[in-house]
Structure 1
Amino acid sequence: MTNWEMVELHRNSGDWEKVVEEIVRIEKRVFPKHESLAKSFEEELKKKNNGLLYSKIGGEVAGYVMYSWPSSLYASITKLAVKENYRGQGHGEALLKAAIEKCKTRNIHRISLHVDPSRIAAMNLYKKLGFQVDSLVECYYSSDRNAYRMYLDFDTD
């Protein structure tokens, strides 16, 4: 991962529209239509207690992670995606670690996420960073696609 940077998306940044357009293109490629936030991405980002980090290489968005913290106790990773040509280079791990750190600064006690059990690379990444399977949620994505609910707890000393 050479010549890349991690950026937090801010509503008032000069490249907001360009970045959101690139993220929406990634969203459409990576996620099935019924799971994609492509049509409502800007509305999602306007919600209180939402954050988005993205990795940038030479002015191009390589991947992003969206997270929310609905309460002071827990947060959720709602999206994590990396463009195909940048996969396997550590971008997903770097994005997820950065989101975890952002949540820690808010004194969050638990981060949760949902993942399709067939997405082996994603499952391995989450487990590598300490996430544990909580339960199987049947029909989470659709009538024939389940999800694991996973979580990562932090010490509350």
Structure 2
Amino acid sequence: MASWVIMELDRNSSNWTKLIEGIVRLEKKIFPKHESLARSFDEELKKKNNGLLYSEVDGEVTGYVMYSWPSSLCASITKLAVKENYRRQGLGEALLKAAIQKCRTRNVHRISLHVDPLRTPAMNLYKKFGFQVDNLIEGYYSSDRNAFRMYMDFDTN
């Protein structure tokens, strides 16, 4: 298994623009246009209580995960993407694990996410981490694409 270096996107970073461009390129490749945040990435990241972790190889973004913690009780994983030629190598898992850890430092009780039930590798990854299907949300992505809402609860003791 490859060893990944996962970094937190820092607004004050000297390579901010280059990183955002790399993330937007990946976003456009992976997600259908209406689901893509490509045009609003900068705005999304300016929002309070939003974070983004990414990995890169030779200056090229290979994957990222976005998360938010709208309240002290819950957080959500809003995006998880891995470049095609880096899939099935543990990168998605490493990104998800890092995002969960970031959310845990906020002492949230629950992390939730939405996933297309047809994206089997993603479903399997979330289940492996202990996410459970909460319910099916019809037409979540588009009129003909549903989503499972999944969640993971933490002990509050």
TM-score norm. by structure 1 comes to: 0.98
* Residue 60 of structure 1: how far off its partner (Å): 1.6
Instruction: Spell out, residue by residue over 1:48-99, the C-alpha distance to the aligned partner (whole angstroms, 9 max, x if none).
Output: 0000000122222110000000000000100000000100010000000000
Matched residues in 2 for 1:108 and 1:75: separation? 6
Letter matched to residue 71 of structure 1? S
Matched residues in 2 for 1:4 and 1:101: separation? 16
* Residue 5 of structure 1: how far off its partner (Å): 1.1
Matched residues in 2 for 1:92 and 1:59: separation? 18
Q: How does 1:121-132 map to 2 (within 5 A)?
A: 121-132=121-132
Matched residues in 1 for 2:89 and 2:2: separation? 10
Q: Which residue of 1 aligns with 2:148?
A: 148
Q: Which residue of 2 aligns with 1:10?
A: 10
Matched residues in 2 for 1:124 and 1:46: separation? 31
Indicate conservation of the 8 Å contact 1:63/1:91, yes or no. Answer: yes
CA 59–46 in structure 1, closer or farther in 2 if over 3 Å, else same: same
Which ranges of structure 1 fall in alignment gaps of 5 or more residues? none
Give the count of matched residue pairs.
157
Backbone CA RMSD of aligned residues = 0.9
Q: Report sequence identity in percent.
A: 76
1:94 partnered with 2:114: no
* Residue 105 of structure 1: how far off its partner (Å): 0.5
Q: Which residue of 2 aligns with 1:114?
A: 114
Q: Which residue of 2 aligns with 1:69?
A: 69
Which ranges of structure 2 fall in alignment gaps of 5 or more residues? none
1:83 partnered with 2:83: yes
* Residue 2 of structure 1: how far off its partner (Å): 3.6
Letter matched to residue 14 of structure 2? G
Matched residues in 2 for 1:65 and 1:133: separation? 20
Letter matched to residue 54 of structure 2? Y
TM-score norm. by structure 2 comes to: 0.98
Q: How does 1:30-45 map to 2 (within 5 A)?
A: 30-45=30-45
Matched residues in 1 for 2:5 and 2:19: separation? 14
Matched residues in 1 for 2:98 and 2:81: separation? 14
Matched residues in 2 for 1:4 and 1:119: separation? 23
